[in-house]
Structure 1
């Protein structure tokens, strides 16, 4: 398929252009699962923040970003993502590298990149980090 055909046609499913299967393990994680995982991770960060300094939302954001960075780099998932059976990998399936986890976590903390979605269902934070969220 030529680049012109690739760029003009819409994908049939999220992740098709990345070589991901339509359904099952290693397919792109759905938005409801990703949002659910995000809420669980924010709830955990909020609980830790409440124990350390009640009412300090900047601390909660910092905990959230650091938690994402460390857990994605070490385990390719966070507690919320694990609950929703999601993992983060490089495009192509390799484990996330340190710099990719850092880029992704910082951009996730900025919120706006998460709202900019490409045709394969990846947010700008995933696109810039070269990562994709897949089902386990």
Structure 2
């Protein structure tokens, strides 16, 4: 398993993912913002983490999501992780290993790929 992904890479990945969700939301609703971005963001997170081992933003930022102890995340892990990420607060609480609370609950870790 690679080293734990640091804050800069995580923020870059998050911004890329949010931008993708915003563009899709705009294509659907023809206006920027609104609540449609949130479910689109969550679905993109769940599907891409399960299929690609990380979100599109994670992969561009050189990160991948790994289940502990290093296997491919089961489908329920990205769901739990994404739901908690949408609440925002768990993502702002970290441990000494720089893992967010949402990752700890889901049993996952973002690592450099």
Task: Please classify the TM superposition score into its range, dividing by the shorter chain length.
Answer: over 0.9
Residues in 1 aligned to 2:37 and 2:21: alpha-carbon distance in whole angstroms: 6
Task: Report the Cα distance in structure 2 between the residues aligned to 1:135 and 1:106, rounded to whole angstroms.
Answer: 23
SS at match of 2:97: coil
Q: TM-score, normalised by structure 2?
A: 0.95
For 2:109, the equivalent position in structure 1 comes to 132
- Cα distance between partner residues in 2 of 1:69 and 1:92: 20
User: Tell me, which stretches of 5 or more residues in structure 1 are unaligned?
Assistant: 1-19, 21-25
SS in structure 2 at match of 1:58 = coil
Instruction: Provide the C-alpha distance between the structure 2 equivalents of 1:113 and 1:31, rounded to a whole number of angstroms.
Output: 15
Alpha-carbon RMSD across the aligned residues, in angstroms, is 1.0
Residue of structure 2 in register with 1:62 after alignment:
39
TM-score normalised by the chain length of structure 1: 0.79
Note if contact 2:22-2:32 (Cα within 8 Å) is conserved in structure 1.
no
Kindly indicate whether residue 26 of structure 2 is the aligned counterpart of residue 50 of structure 1.
yes
Q: Give me the whole-angstrom Cα distance separating, in 1, the residues matched to 2:85 and 2:34.
A: 15
How many residue pairs were aligned?
A: 112
The answer to whether residue 3 in structure 2 is matched with residue 27 in structure 1 is yes
Q: Which has the larger radius of gyration?
A: 1
Q: Which 4+ residue blocks in structure 1 deviate beyond 2 angstroms?
A: none
**Which residue is 2:14 aligned to?**
38
The Cα of 1:57 is off from its aligned counterpart by 2.2
Once residues 116 and 69 of structure 1 are traced to their aligned partners in structure 2, the CA distance between those partners, rounded to angstroms, is: 21
- CA positional deviation for 1:77: 1.1
